[in-house]
Amino acid sequence: MAYWLLKSEPSSYSWERLVADGRTNWDGVRNPQALNNLRAMKLGDRAFFYHSNEGKEIVGVAKVVRTFYPDPADKGGKLGMIDIEPVMPAAVPVGLKAMRANPDLSDLSLLKQSRLSVCPITDKEWSVLCKMTGVPPDTEDAKNR
């Protein structure tokens, strides 16, 4: 399983709205690098949900429920989207400052490339962030327990 981080401005699409919707299609990604990441996602992959601009913190965990498919509105056929569902909120929202302050996260792509809206996260970074957010590393297990 791979791990990711999805970034969104709360004013355009917030975690609260994702929870209310129960599921959403993650579209509107234009950056080629971010699109590549979207394409690489597999069913069941986990992603932290990060609020940029307002809040600037990780607020929850989502999972991929549909892999990449093309955006019908895009004539060029380059754009596409995935579908995600909320898994659980972060018990402790983790802000940028806290991530910067943690040496284990110094390679985090979010910190290095602040403009990349879909970034990969390593297994190690995932477990570190899970500890910080108070999220069980294996959220599927936690749900079935």
Partner DNA sequence: GCCAACGTTGGC
Least distance from C-beta 133 to DNA, angstroms? 16
* Residue whose tokens read 């699109």: 35
| Cβ contact 61:18 at 8 Å | no
Residues in the chain: 145
Candidate ranges 15-23, 25-33, 41-49, 124-132; the one touching DNA (CB under 7 A): 25-33
Residue 53 sits in the site that holds DNA (CB under 7 A)? yes
β-sheet bridge partners, residue 7: 50
Structure tokens at 25: 């299609």
Residue 11 sits in the site that holds DNA (CB under 7 A)? no
Binding mask 58-97 for DNA (x = CB under 7 A): --------------------------------------xx
* Residue whose tokens read 């969104």: 8
β-sheet bridge partners, residue 74: none
Question: Among 2, 25, 56, 127, which residue sits at the site for DNA (rule: CB under 7 A)?
Answer: 56
Please calculate the CA angle 66-21-130 and round it to the nearest 5 degrees.
70
Query: Which residues, 6+ apart, have CB-to-CB distance to 145 below 8 Å?
Result: none
Question: Among 3, 6, 7, 58, which residue sits at the site for DNA (rule: CB under 7 A)?
Answer: 7
Least distance from C-beta 80 to DNA, angstroms? 14
Residue 98 sits in the site that holds DNA (CB under 7 A)? no
What is the C-alpha to C-alpha distance for residues 93 and 98, in angstroms, rounded to an integer? 10
Least distance from C-beta 128 to DNA, angstroms? 18
Binding site for DNA (CB under 7 A): 7, 9, 30-33, 52-53, 56, 96-97, 100, 113-117
